[in-house]
Amino acid sequence: MCGIVGYIGSKNCVPIILEGLRRLEYRGYDSAGIAVIRDDKFFIQKNAGKVADLAAALGKADGSLFSHVGMGHTRWATHGEPNDVNAHPHWDQKKQIALVHNGIIENYLAIKTKLLRDGHVFLGATDTEVLAHLIGVMFDECGDLATAVRLALSEVQGTYGIVVISPRDPQRIVAARRGSPLLIGVGDGENFVASDASAIVSHTRQVLYLDDGEIADVTCDHVRTMTIEDVDTQKTVHEVTLELSQIERGGFDHFMLKEIHEQPQTIHDAMRGRLLVDEGDVKLGGLQNTLGRLLSARRLILTACGTSWHAALVGEYMLEQIARIPTEVEYASEFRYRDPVINVDDVVLLISQSGETADTLSALRDAKSKGATVLGIVNVVGSSIARESHGGVYVHAGPEIGVASTKAFTSQLTVLALITILLARARGMARERGQVLARELASLPEKVDAVLSDTSTIQQIAREFKDARNFLYLGRGSNFPVALEGALKLKEISYIHAEGYPAAEMKHGPIALIDRNMPVVFIVPRDGIYEKVISNIQEVRARKGRIIAVANEDDSEIDKMAEFVIRVPHTYGFFGPILNIIPLQLLAYYMAVERGTNVDQPRNLAKSVTVE
């Protein structure tokens, strides 16, 4: 989704902003732009396309551009198609302020109508340009940039992370946040603004996270934060631990492949210091204060979007079957508008890689306002969901740059497994049983490594099916969500239509799709329902569907039924999804490579969806 980076200080801001924009590219975008102040005037360049196009255009326009204050933006279109005019930055009627914006101004039409009546002329179709004009009007009236931003925002409904600069006041950057993340990077005689720490981490690790409703007035040596009502707020400086190597490809062709291969380590990191194998137990510091409420909860509600929602579905199997706690799963995007019945003794777990997904954040706020305990299972440290939850567990997968989520998913599953063991033990599960589960979980990184060590079959399957137009993914029990996730991965990066289904449901509809052209991926580990899934495989075979099976190493029966078999080591049923998803991630990856799509930044998708 859109990205923001701004700079004020003694250095030339142009290369700093361009580098920041490149680091934000992974979020997904369709146009990019930059505004700097030079000789008390704006220099603005923006265009549809990539940051490389912007850099080339800048080079042509003025190769020696130098400025001490400026900002850049990568846009993911919401209002108005992705073209040069709709790209950010936008400016006001008199071109005295420029604005970059992440989010959506919901009442922009009403504001625009009023401004049109006053003679304003708009160049494009965006909600952001309307906000720029409104800030310009306020600036005319009050002459102070921060006040103008405050006054304009008090008329605005919607979500925003914004940065504003003006040649009339070139010594400051004004930033504001509501619903869209923004942080201030604190340097020595220089300061930064960014939507994501990765944009500025090569310059400073000291950051202030803006809260919703906060405005920051930033000069090169001072940051003042205030509310929209002009009340000063106190901020704590946080240290960002992100390493540059974590946000670079490090020899892999794509971030997605790097992140798939990081999983033995990231799964291990999710458990490190938390899984107590000898005691058959788990320690989770982030749940310490809320453990009582978790244990007395009448039910758990897991809510999330996309891949994180698939993790929640697997979590439901673990929590109900191992810890015996009633658990419900719901899309956050539905939860927020359904006005669900929430009781004070419900515990709502929000699962999110980014910690910024608008729908999930909104579900959190709704559940919290109804008195429930809300807990986050989040990857990005310091993100909104992490900060607004009563407690929670970081999954510690490190930065995930590929838009298609991979390592965050397996880390979320690992954390859900930890929570399950913790609750099961606290509710009376025997130590010996806890030890068995803990040992099994601890063995997973090695087993994932084994799957990753030979991808030749998967690459062969990708070559064979690269021109397929549809795929079916089928699994049962906790491997049903794995089927959903495998299908989502394929759709996202190869643009092949794929559906995930519970294997036994196939005969209630999707079986009509089966013919000799239909590849069907079965997840068929040797567990308690193995024979049932084999029956489903036979049903597909009888209709000449082409079978690809993800099966255990010791399963010799499957060779007689499947055209291709991808082998995974045996593991305890409930933890199987952590292993079984790995080949499906790889299959999606190699299919996308065969088809020549943009693996890391697939069309239309954004890494963190901060709009509804």
Q: Is 228 exposed, middle or buried (0-12, 13-18, 19+ CB in 10 A)?
A: middle
Select 20 or 306, whichever has its Cβ closest to ligand M6R. 306
Indicate which residue of 2, 13, 220, 305 is catalytic. Answer: 2
Residue pair 217/22 in contact (Cβ under 8 Å)? The answer is no
Rounded to whole angstroms, the Cα distance separating 461 from 453 reads 16
Rounded to whole angstroms, the Cα distance separating 340 from 338 reads 5
* Nearest alpha carbon to residue 447 among 580, 297, 277, 579: 579
Q: How far is the CB of 147 from ligand M6R (least distance, A)?
A: 35
Site for ligand M6R in 307-326 (CB under 6 A): 307-308
C-alpha distance from residue 134 to each of 53, 139, 140, 176, 583 (Å): 30, 9, 10, 15, 52
Q: How far is the CB of 311 from ligand M6R (least distance, A)?
A: 8
329 touches ligand M6R (CB under 6 A): no
Select 403 or 534, whichever has its Cβ closest to ligand M6R. 403
Per DSSP, 286 falls in state G
Select 536 or 601, whichever has its Cβ closest to ligand M6R. 601
Indicate which residue of 112, 258, 407, 607 is catalytic. Answer: 607
User: Which tokens sit at 411?
Assistant: 């880390």
Phi, psi of 87 (to 5 degrees): -60, 155
Q: Indicate the SS3 state at residue 255.
A: helix
Q: What SS3 string covers 535-598? A: HHHHHHHHCCCEEEEEEECCCCHHHHCCCEEEEECCCCHHHHHHHHHHHHHHHHHHHHHHHCCC
Rounded to whole angstroms, the Cα distance separating 255 from 429 reads 40
Per DSSP, 76 falls in state -
Among the residue ranges 154-162, 248-256, 274-282, 304-312, the one whose residues contact ligand M6R (CB under 6 A): 304-312
Per DSSP, 25 falls in state G
Q: How far is the CB of 605 from ligand M6R (least distance, A)?
A: 6
Select 403 or 518, whichever has its Cβ closest to ligand M6R. 403
Q: Cβ neighbours of residue 153 under 8 Å, at least 6 residues apart?
A: 160, 176, 178, 215, 228
Rounded to whole angstroms, the Cα distance separating 395 from 352 reads 10
With CB under 6 A as the contact rule, the residue among 352, 479, 552, 610 that binds ligand M6R is: 352
Select 216 or 490, whichever has its Cβ closest to ligand M6R. 490
Q: How far is the CB of 487 from ligand M6R (least distance, A)?
A: 11
492 touches ligand M6R (CB under 6 A): yes
142 carries an active-site annotation: no
Per DSSP, 26 falls in state G
Report which residue's Cβ sits closest to ligand M6R: 306
Q: Cβ neighbours of residue 100 under 8 Å, at least 6 residues apart?
A: 4, 6, 33, 35, 71, 72, 73, 88, 89, 90, 128, 162, 163
Q: How far is the CB of 108 from ligand M6R (least distance, A)?
A: 24
Select 403 or 520, whichever has its Cβ closest to ligand M6R. 403
Q: How far is the CB of 348 from ligand M6R (least distance, A)?
A: 15
2 carries an active-site annotation: yes
With CB under 6 A as the contact rule, the residue among 302, 305, 474, 550 that binds ligand M6R is: 305
Q: How far is the CB of 587 from ligand M6R (least distance, A)?
A: 14
Select 472 or 493, whichever has its Cβ closest to ligand M6R. 493
Among the residue ranges 58-66, 73-81, 126-134, 302-310, the one whose residues contact ligand M6R (CB under 6 A): 302-310
354 touches ligand M6R (CB under 6 A): yes
405 touches ligand M6R (CB under 6 A): yes
585 touches ligand M6R (CB under 6 A): no
Select 353 or 536, whichever has its Cβ closest to ligand M6R. 353
Among the residue ranges 242-250, 350-358, 475-483, 503-511, the one whose residues contact ligand M6R (CB under 6 A): 350-358
Contacts with ligand M6R, 366-385, as mask; x by CB under 6 A: --------------------
- CA atoms lying within 13 Å on the CB side of residue 214: 21
Among the residue ranges 40-48, 281-289, 397-405, 505-513, the one whose residues contact ligand M6R (CB under 6 A): 397-405
Number of residues that bind ligand M6R (CB under 6 A): 16
Q: Which residue has the tokens 């809260």?
A: 211
608 touches ligand M6R (CB under 6 A): yes
Q: Indicate the SS3 state at residue 525.
A: coil
Antiparallel, parallel or unpaired: β 281-282 and 519-524: unpaired
555 touches ligand M6R (CB under 6 A): no
Catalytic residues: 2, 607
Chain residues binding ligand M6R by CB under 6 A are: 305-308, 352-354, 357, 360, 403-405, 492, 605, 608-609
